[in-house]
Copies of this chain bind each other. A is one copy, B any other.
Amino acid sequence: MVQNTQPRPRGRPRAYDRQQALAQARDAFWQAGFAATSMDDLSAATGMNRPSLYAAFGDKQQLYLELLERYIVAANQAIAVEFEQDQPLARTLTRFYRYALALYLPEEGPPRGCFLTGTAVSEAAANPQVREKLLTGLSGFTRALERRLRRARDEGEIEAQADPAALADIASAVLHSLAVRARAGDSRVALNATIKTAIGLICGSAQRRNARRASHA
């Protein structure tokens, strides 16, 4: 059997776990936003001291951009897995929005919305790097939705004349709205009602009844 244990690195071992520290830094940014989170906050959140933070992740902006990238990649992977499933469109979209909402409304603590819309949007106007990553992330989600809707159209799940790109725009808009409204403190009931309405509208006349009378809080 091949030796699969890596040779341990030379010097003093790290006192932190890189993945865990990144997640903790992300949560700190997620709560307070980029500008309002200081290196001291990040130090406290990760348990690392500042020199270690700089050595491991560069300065605050580098770390933040890295976290944006990771969030986008993870979201795209989760979406890809879900959209590859051989499930009805309505069910897939329901799971898609429910998964997002679970992320936006954690069990404990204040509602936080989406990491991208909750923290990157405010920086985007003044910071081109953040703006670029944000747009890349958002349009990636939209394209994934469009591919799934195209498949739904090709397989006869929605009307043959439906425009996948147009419907993906609406489906994305609902996601953006959930992200904003969740962080704004809107109720879970109201957000779920929006999800129901959106799915009814997107999935077409077969589901039109739901679109008309989704329960509202």
Bits for A117-157, please: 1 = Cβ < 8 Å to B, else 0.
Answer: 11111111110000110110011000000000000000000
**How big is chain A's contact interface, by range?**
35 or more
A201 CB-CB contact with B under 8 Å: yes
Beta-carbon contact of A122 and B125 below 8 Å: no
Segment of A16-24, A51-59, A76-84, A108-116 in the binding face: A108-116
Q: Which residue of B lies closest to A30 (CB)?
A: B125
- Known contacts: A35-B33, A110-B125, A119-B122. The answer to whether A176 contacts B165 by CB under 8 A is no
A197 / chain B contacts, CB cutoff of 8 Å? 163, 166-167, 169-170
Select which of B111, B139, B180 is within 8 A of A186 by beta carbon.
B139
Q: A26 contacts the other chain (Cβ, under 8 Å)?
A: no
Asked whether any CB of chain B lies closer than 8 Å to the CB of A194, the reply is yes
Say yes or no for A162: interface residue by CB 8 A criterion: yes
* A92 CB-CB contact with B under 8 Å: no
Chain B residues contacting A183 (CB-CB under 8 Å) are: 121, 124-125, 131
Are A214's CB and B166's CB within 8 A? yes
Residues of B within 8 A of A163 (CB): 197, 211-214
Q: Does A103 contact B (CB under 8 A)?
A: no
Q: A110-B126, A123-B36, A163-B212 are in contact. Are A193 and B169 (CB under 8 A)?
A: yes
A135 pairs with B173, CB closer than 8 A: no
Most chain B CB within a 10 A radius of its CB, from A112, A126, A183, A201: A183
Known: A118-B121, A138-B181, A180-B180. 6 other contacts (CB 8 A): A110-B125, A117-B117, A118-B122, A135-B184, A138-B180, A173-B177
The answer to whether A185 and B126 have CB atoms under 8 Å apart is no
Q: What residues on B are CB-neighbors of A118 within 8 Å?
A: 121-122, 125
Residues in B with CB closer than 8 Å to A113 are 121, 124-125
